Amino acid sequence: MKTTRRNFIQQSAQLAAAGAAIGIIGHQELFASSPSVLQFSQIALPYGYPALEPSIDAQTMEIHYTKHHAAYVKNVNEAIQAEKITATDEKSFFANVSKLSAKARNNGGGVWNHNFFWQCMKPNGGGQPSGKIAEALQSTFGSLDKFKEQFTQAAMTRFGSGWAWLIVDDGKLKITSTPNQDNPLMDVAESKGTPLLALDVWEHAYYLKYQNKRNEYVGNWWNVVNWDFAASQLK
Ligand code: MN
- Nearest CA to 105 out of 29, 170, 187, 160 is that of 187
Element (H, E) at 195: strand 194-200
15 Cα to the center of ligand 1, angstroms: 29
Report DSSP state, residue 64: I
The CA 114 to ligand 1 mean position distance, Å, reads: 6
Question: How many angstroms does the Cα of residue 68 sit away from the middle of ligand 1?
Answer: 7
In a domain, 22, yes or no: no
Q: Is residue 227 part of a domain?
A: yes
Identify whether the C-beta of residue 183 lies closer than 8 Å to the C-beta of residue 165.
yes
User: 169: helix, coil or strand?
Assistant: strand
Residue 88 CA, ligand 1 centroid: distance in Å? 25
* Domain boundaries, position 235: 57-235
Amino acid identity at 203 = E
| 26 lies in some domain | no
Q: Could you tell me the CATH number of the domain that includes residue 169?
A: 3.55.40.20
User: Per residue of the chain (235 residues), what is the pLDDT tens digit?
Assistant: 344 444 444 444 444 444 444 444 444 444 444 556 899 999 999 999 999 999 999 999 999 999 999 999 999 999 999 999 999 999 999 999 999 999 999 999 999 999 999 999 999 999 999 999 999 999 999 999 999 999 999 999 999 999 999 999 999 999 999 999 999 999 999 999 999 999 999 999 999 999 999 999 999 999 999 999 999 999 8
What is the Å distance from ligand 1's center to 161 Cα?
A: 9
Angle at the Cα of 229 (from 143 to 87), degrees rounded to 5?
120
